[in-house]
A and B are shown apart, each in its own frame.
Chain A
Amino acid sequence: MTMLVALTLNGKTVSADVEPRTLLVQLIRDHFGLTGTHVGCDTSQCGVCVVHINGQSVKSCTMLAVQAEGMEVETIESLAGIKKLHPMQQAFKDYHGLQCGFCTPGVIMSALNLVARNPNPSEIEIREWLEGNLCRCTGYHNIVKAISAGAEAMKN
């Protein structure tokens, strides 16, 4: 049995027929082909699947696609312009805030939720906010620097 789910995905109105048990991350990746949102632990711990629902960061592996009915979903693909990265993405590049890059889309979507709440996050606030994002390469130092610089760049 499938259900029609209609939502706004990166600014576009879209719909799909899904089983109620379909996860939001499966809808995003498998139905709409937006593979920037990753699946890591699949147990709501690692944060590589973070997207925004109505402006709030959530783990899309722990939400059903049907729960997003009528909502605005933003993924990492919503950020960059045609030839220009989002200031937060640019900061990750400039500050080498990634190594393998697998966790990066989730970290950036999480960071943007932090900056929306707090445009001037301190290093401690950034580190605490990253509780829900695991990176196994960097040791977080450059991620923290990148988020701080990205937050600054977003004021311009």
Chain B
Amino acid sequence: MYNFAYQRPKSLSEAIAISEKAEEGLFLAGGMTLIPALKLRLTNPSDLIDLSELADLKGIRQEQNILVVGAMMNHAQVAAALEIRSVLPALADLAESIGDPQVRNRGTIGGSISNSDPAADYPAAVVGLGATVRTNKRSIAADDFFTGLFETALKVNELVVEVHFPIPKRASYMKFPNPASRYAVVGVMVAEHEDSIRVAVTGAGASVFRVPEMELALEANFSPEAIEDIAVSADGLNEDVHASAEYRAHLITVMAKRAVAALI
């Protein structure tokens, strides 16, 4: 690991001020991706700005039909929160399926979505549930937040404060996990909202994406049969030692069907 300066600000404004002054500052959330990246010397920040004491980034609450999750809530907290279990169990189940207990005790929702790993689970929830990402500067719609492989709409000195999830009528997340890492080889979130259905896929492409054909088919007929003949093209999908692009394309339909079946 290259050396860096470490700071643990007490407030959001202090964190941003440090970031603005730093030559090349990086925000540290749970560190479950950033610390391994530092160990591999994949990144070389001048300053690490630890967000663990920022009260603005903590807490879970409901505002009318919106579930608000603070960026620094870890996966174990999201999985266990009764406020989430009672109204959006798919989100709690998704959090419970990440990594292992020790990773869930440290890794955070804000860190996960800011990293935009192609195989991370949370992007499927943010896009599938049509969430809004609140940063220190603005609100970003889920469809605009993830812009590519490890890329988001976040600008320099901008960090995720909260994620606002509209509570759907019903939602389910199914994934085919890598047996060692529990990252999603393919994961699909299917959510039925008041006026639409959203199907979001993680693990398969460079970044999370929706499948409009499946959304339309499910709006007409909410059943696994409605989507069983809808195949996503393997062109451009991820290919690695774990799964070919064709296999991932196949898994999208399988996981989407399972998610729908779980809701009937």
Contacts and interface: CB of A to CB of B under 8 A. Distances in A.
A133 B52 CA distance: 26
A59 B99 CA distance: 12
Interface stretch (A63-71, A80-88, A141-149): A63-71
Interface stretch (B35-43, B133-141, B214-222): B35-43
Contacts of B65: none
Contacts of B28: 67
Contacts of A42: 39
A67 B102 contact: no
A58 B2 CA distance: 23
B102 A3 contact: no
Interface in B7-62: 8, 28, 31-32, 35-36, 38-39, 48, 50, 52
Contact of A21 (B2, B103, B106): B2
B31 A63 contact: yes
B101 A21 contact: no
Give chain A's interface secondary structure class.
mixed
B105 A58 contact: yes
Contact of A132 (B5, B35, B103): B103
Contacts of A114: 101
Interface string A7-41: 00000000000011100000000000000000000
B21 to A, nearest CB: 17
Contacts of B39: 42-43
A155 B76 CA distance: 25
B149 interface: no
B5 A1 contact: yes
A129 B105 CA distance: 12
B8 A56 contact: no
A90 interface: no
A128 B164 CA distance: 30
Contacts of A20: 3-6, 48
B35 A64 contact: yes
A69 B98 CA distance: 27
A50 B2 CA distance: 24
Interface in B82-123: 99-103, 105-106
B48 A132 contact: no
B259 to A, nearest CB: 21
A63 B3 contact: no
B153 interface: no
Contact of A67 (B50, B100, B181): B50
B193 interface: no
A19 B5 CA distance: 9
List 6 A-B pairs, minimum CB-CB distance, nearest first: A132-B100, A20-B6, A131-B100, A21-B1, A56-B105, A132-B102
Interface of B: 1-6, 8, 28, 31-32, 35-36, 38-39, 48, 50, 52, 76, 99-103, 105-106, 180-182
Given A20-B6, A43-B39, A44-B103, 18 more contacts: A21-B1, A21-B2, A42-B39, A43-B36, A45-B180, A57-B101, A58-B106, A59-B103, A62-B32, A62-B36, A63-B35, A64-B6, A67-B8, A67-B28, A67-B31, A110-B101, A132-B99, A132-B103
Interface of A: 1, 3, 19-21, 42-45, 47, 50, 56-59, 62-64, 66-67, 69, 110, 113-114, 129, 131-133
